[in-house]
Amino acid sequence: MSTTAEAARRRTFAVIAHPDAGKSTLTEALALHAHIITEAGATHGKGNRKATVSDWMEMEKDRGISIASSALQFEYAHEGTDYMINLVDTPGHADFSEDTYRVLSAVDAAVMLIDAAKGLEPQTLKLFRVCKARGLPIITVINKWDRIGQEPLELVEEIVTEIDLQPTPLYWPVGEAGDFRGLAHVNADGEVDEYVHFDRTAGGATIAPETFFAPDAAAEQEEDAWETAVAEAELLAGDGAIHDQELFEQCVTSPLIFASAMLNFGVHQILDTLCAIAPSPAGRASDPAAIEASTSAVDEFREIEDDFSGVVFKVQAGMDKNHRDTLAFMRVVSGEFDRGMQVTHAQSGRSFSSKYALTVFGRTRETVETAYPGDIVGLVNAGSLAPGDTIYAGRKVQYPPMPQFAPEHFRILRAKSLGKYKQFRKALDQLEAEGVVQILRNDARGDANPVMAAVGPMQFEVMQGRMANEYNVETVTEPIPYTVARLTDEASAPELGRQRGVEIFTRGDGALVALFGDKWKLAFIEKEHPGLTIEPMVAD
C-alpha cells in the first residue's frame, strides 16, 4: 500500500478535558472496543479500581489522575476499512498544560470530554480555545450521562455561548442524565433515523451489548424518553445544527456525542465517528526562521508522500525501570519510516540510526518496523532529541519549534546527600530534557543548587517523585523570592542583574531568563530602563 493510502487510514487525535472528566477511562474504553484489551481497568469504583493502562506512573496510580501524556496505537475496523488509531491521552491538570499543548501540535483532531454535571470548566475552556486557534477540529463528547447532570440543551447552549462553537448532534441521548438508556442517531439531514439501546454489564468492564430499533419501534420501547430525544434533536436541526464536514474542519462546528465511558455506552460510536469524519494526516510547512538561518536549501513544505520527516513532541524517561532508557515520542509527518534507517537531526545536523523504534501501548512496547504519516513512534535512547525537534531523510526540513510556557512558580532543588550528586546531575539533565520543569542556573548558586521553574507547583512534586523512584535520589526544595520570569539578552543582562529584586539565570537551551520579585518590580524597571530587553515568555 502506498504512503498516501496508508496515511488515509490513519486517525491521530488527542483526548483533552478538565481533570476528572474521564479521559483515561475513555482511553481504556476505546481500546476495549477495538478489542486490544479484554477488560477495562476502571471497573469497581474508586475504592477498589484498577489503574488504567495509560496511567503508568506511580503518582498517577496513587492520585487517580493523568500527569503525563500517553500514546496508544491500535487498529479498528469500520465499514470494511482497517483504520490505524493513534490516540494520545493527555494530562488534565492545569499544572501540566505545557505537556498538553505539545500533544496538540502532534495530532490532527481532538476529542474534548465534558462532564455532564459540571459543563464547561476553566481548563476545558482553555483547551477548546487552543484547538480553535490551531485549527484543530474538535469532536465533543458529553461524558458521564449515566449520572445526574445538566439538561442536554443547556449544555449545547453553554458551548455556543462560551466558546462560539456550534455543536452538531450525531448521537443524542435517550433518557435524561442519570437515566441513560441509549442514543438516537441523527443523520446528515438532521433526522433521527435509528435508536441504539444499551444494556449494562458488571461494573462496565466489558463492551455493553447494543440493540438497534427503527424509530417506530423505539417510540414503542421508550415512549416519552424517545419522544423527548427526537423533539430536542429536531429542534437543533431546525436551527441549522447539522453536521457539515467543511465547517467541522474549519472549527466552526463540532460533532456532538453523548456517552458514558465508565459503562462503555456510546464508545464505539465515538470511534466510528473519528474514522468517518476526522481528518487524515496532511503535510506541514517548515519554520520560516529555520529557512532564513540555514546555509543550505530547506524544504518549505513536506507533502505526506515526500521523503521521511517527523517531529518530536515529547521525551519520557523512567517508563522501563529495568533498562533506564529514554523514549522520544515522534509524530511521523511525511514519507515512510523504516526502523534502522539513517536520519538527520535538523537542529544539530547530526546523523543517527533509528534501530530501536517502538510502538507504545501505555507501558507496553512492541518493535515497529514501518510507520507512516500520523503514526506515533517511540525512539529509544535518542538522547539528543528534545520536544519540538525535527528529524528527516533526504532534503532538509525543519518544522516550527514547540512553545515554552512562562513559569510562575520557582524553587531551588538540591540532593539530600552529597554522595548522590552524580545521580542528581544525571536525573536533572534527563528530566529537564523531557520538559518536566525548566531548569535555571547561574554561577552564584552553582550547579548543586539549580532553580526549578514551573507552570504549576504539582510539577515540583513530579520532579521530586521521579528523582526518588527512578533515580534513587532524595531531594529537598527551598522557596525563592521570585514570581515573574522574562527573557532577556547578553547586552541587557548585566544591568538587570544589578537591580534589587532581580536575578539572571541561563536556561537549559541557552536562553537568558530574568526573574523578578513581583509584577510591580518588573513594571518599575521597565519604566526606569526602557532600553533594556525584557520580553514575555509566551506559549503561542
- Assigned C-alpha cell, 382: 535518542
**CA gyration radius, the chain:** 25
Three-state DSSP class for residue 122: helix
323 SS3 class: coil
What is the per-residue burial (b if ≥16 Cβ within 10 Å, else e) of 302-330?
A: bbbbbbbbbbbbbbbbbbeeeeebbbbbb
Q: Which residues pair with 13 in a beta bridge?
A: 87, 109
For residue 93, say whether it is annotated as part of any ligand binding site: yes
Instruction: State the Cα–Cα distance between residues 104 and 130, nearest whole angstrom.
Output: 9
Residue with cell 498516501: 4
> Taking a C-beta distance cutoff of 8 angstroms, is the pair 124, 21 a contact?
yes
Nearest one of 10, 23, 141 to 88, comparing CA atoms:
23
Amino acid at 95: D
Phi-psi region of 45 (alpha: psi -120 to 50; beta: other; left: phi over 0): left
Instruction: Single out the residue of 437, 456, 461 nearest to residue 513, CA to CA.
Output: 437
**89 belongs to an annotated ligand binding site:** yes
Please, are residues 74 and 100 in contact by the beta-carbon 8 Å criterion? no
Burial of 278: CB neighbours in 10 Å, binned 0-12, 13-18, 19+: buried
Task: Say if residue 197 carries a ligand binding annotation.
Answer: no
Was 41 annotated as part of a binding site? no
Task: Measure the CA angle with vertex 111, ends 108 and 113; round to 5°.
Answer: 160
Is the torsion defined by CA of 347, 352, 358, 363 positive or negative? negative
Distance, in Å, from the CA atom of 283 to the CA atom of 306, rounded to the nearest integer, reads 9
Round to whole Å and give the CA distance between 30 and 50. Answer: 17
Find out whether 310 is annotated in a ligand binding site.
no
Q: Is the dihedral of CA 79, 250, 304, 130 positive or negative?
A: negative
- Of 25, 19, 2, nearest in space to 260 by CA: 25
The DSSP-derived string for 20-59 is TSSHHHHHHHHHHHTTS-SS-S--S-TTSPPPPTT--SHH
Distance CA 348, CA 204 (A): 50
Please enumerate, by residue number, every residue annotated as part of a binding site.
Answer: 89-93
| Binding-site annotation: residue ranges for GTP | 89-93
